[in-house]
Amino acid sequence: MIEKPLISIVIPTYNSAQFVGAAVESVLKQTYSHFEIIVVDDGSTDNTASVLAPYKDRIQYIKKQNGGPASARNIGIKQARGEYVAFLDADDVWLPPKLETQLDAMNGDIALVGEGDFHKGECSSSRIITYKELLQKNYFCNSSVIVKKSCFDEVGLYNESPEFKAVEDWDMWLRIANKFPVQLLPSNLVQIRQVPSSLSSTENALKMLNNEKAVLMKHFSHIKVGKISFVEKREIFSYRYFCAAWAFWSAKELSKAFKYMLISFTYNPLSLLTKKRGGLMIKIILERILRLSIPVNQLTRPFFSFLYHIHVFLREGLICLIKFFYYEPLFRSQCQKAGQGLWMEKLPYIIGQGVIEIGNNVRLSGKPSFAFSRKICKNPKLSIGNNTFIGHQTSFMVAKEIRIGNHCYIAGGVTIADNDGHPIDADKRRQGLPPDKDAVREVIIGDDVWIGRQAMILKGVTIGNRSIVGGRAVVVHDVPEDSIVAGNPAKVITKIERNV
């Protein structure tokens, strides 16, 4: 029986206590079981150690001073006993068949297997990735890669230099691809977690670009003359600047996105004709245009101020014409009496038939509604006294009579009803019967009453002169004169002292 090769899984972690447990669990659930897990704690200050304590019999836990992911991976490689080394970031997880699928693909001289640009689904079948292709872009996600350990004896360990931070994995794949075949798989066996502190987040786009340029300059300095052309080098740099522009565009930093797209086109003007790069440039330009605004300063302010007053004059003039020649005549035609000085913004919504009497100098703000029911009383009546204000979306439900005095202020959204609308008895409601006669009682609102926004005045209520009803109050009992009421049900809060 052929012994299965040992795979060493290296998990570097730094302050990832909330995620590292899931990463370890995803390894323990692999269908391929001959592996060792090496967790290298890169100087975490959170509770990583306590999270990993339950796995102490299944993992090797190594804690070191903070030195970055590259140094953590290098310690893991040195500690590894397996024929193969697989890497898993602490905030990512594997699907169960990951190791088994990739080990089956490690045929012949293949030194590295990994997944490609799975976010965009660009890889449809397994294929060898050349060194030149890998210079163009990093095809491999770090958490997807499995490598023959013997490769590190040939190409060395990860570069721990600060200028290679977050791109040390790309540099490693390039070094391996320059000496051995590497294979890209189409499978999606890794779940990447994007977190704010992740080195791959878009806010680090500029730092990533500078580090990617450092990797490229290093490899270009070692490439033999003629192996890669001048034009190919410029296209590679053009693509890196395009990636930076895309990251800034995704983060809605349009000025930086536009800047790096221009640099990208400077390296390769023909890339403007490609769907991705030309399309991104069009998107950036359109969004910049939409964000533009005409400056209003000391020079232009008088002109725009003049235009504003013209606009207000025309708008208000048009509204007045519509009210005078259309809304007001239509509404007056539905009133038995409508006094002088009626002021209204829109045509009120009237349901059913009833008697409407409006006093002098009444103001109807916005669009109030009048609902009449003739099932109890043949001529339900709504009367509004002189100099009274009715707010927007105020509703009157009239089955008998609602009488509002003079000089009242009724705020928006108030409901005044002299009936319940439907019977309390469920059987009667199902039959569509009107409310009982004793459930319909007139509402009387005295003079100088102020009713707050969204209050409800229910059947049989009389509100005395000069009283105030608080906003959202539900009034079910009479309100004495000179009182302030609030609450549900409304109660007298205080009395108003009058200076006679």
Alpha helices in 191-300 (DSSP H): 205-222, 230-250, 254-267, 275-291
* pLDDT of the residue at 491: 95
Q: What is the Cα–Cα distance from 274 to 134, expressed in whole angstroms? A: 20
Structure tokens at 129: 């990735």
What average pLDDT does the structure give for the chain? 90
338-341-347 Cα angle (round to 5) = 65
Residues of the chain with pLDDT under 50: 118-121, 198-201
Question: For the segment 153-206, what is each residue's pLDDT rounded down to a tens digit?
Answer: 999 999 998 888 888 999 999 999 999 999 999 888 898 887 655 444 455 777
Q: What is the CATH number of domain 197-291?
A: 1.25.40
Indicate the residue type of 465: N
Burial 119-135 (b: 16+ CB within 10 A, else e): eeeebeeeeebebeebb
* pLDDT of the residue at 119: 45
* pLDDT of the residue at 195: 61
* pLDDT of the residue at 120: 46
Structure tokens at 378: 């043949």
Exposed/middle/buried for 326, CB within 10 Å: 0-12, 13-18, 19+?
exposed
Quick one: which of 110, 69, 100, 62 has its CA closest to 87? 69
Q: What is the CATH number of domain 334-495?
A: 2.160.10.10
Q: Is 236 left (phi over 0), alpha (psi -120 to 50) or beta?
A: alpha
Answering whether pTM is above 0.75, one says no
Whether 346 contacts 326, CB under 8 Å? no
Q: What is the CATH number of domain 1-193?
A: 3.90.550.10
Structure tokens at 363: 């103001």
Whether 75 contacts 56, CB under 8 Å? no
* pLDDT of the residue at 294: 84
* pLDDT of the residue at 124: 63
**Residue 188: other Cβ atoms inside 10 A:** 15
* pLDDT of the residue at 220: 85
Domain segments of the chain as ranges: 1-193, 197-291, 293-329, 334-495
Whether 342 contacts 327, CB under 8 Å? no
DSSP sequence for 172-188: HHHHHHTTS-EEEE---
Question: For the segment 306-357, what is each residue's pLDDT rounded down to a tens digit?
Answer: 999 999 999 999 988 998 899 999 999 999 999 999 999 899 999 999 999 9
Whether 400 contacts 442, CB under 8 Å? yes
Q: Which residues are catalytic?
A: 422
> 464 CB contacts (<8 Å, ≥6 apart)?
446, 449, 478, 479, 480, 481, 482, 483
DSSP code of residue 387: T
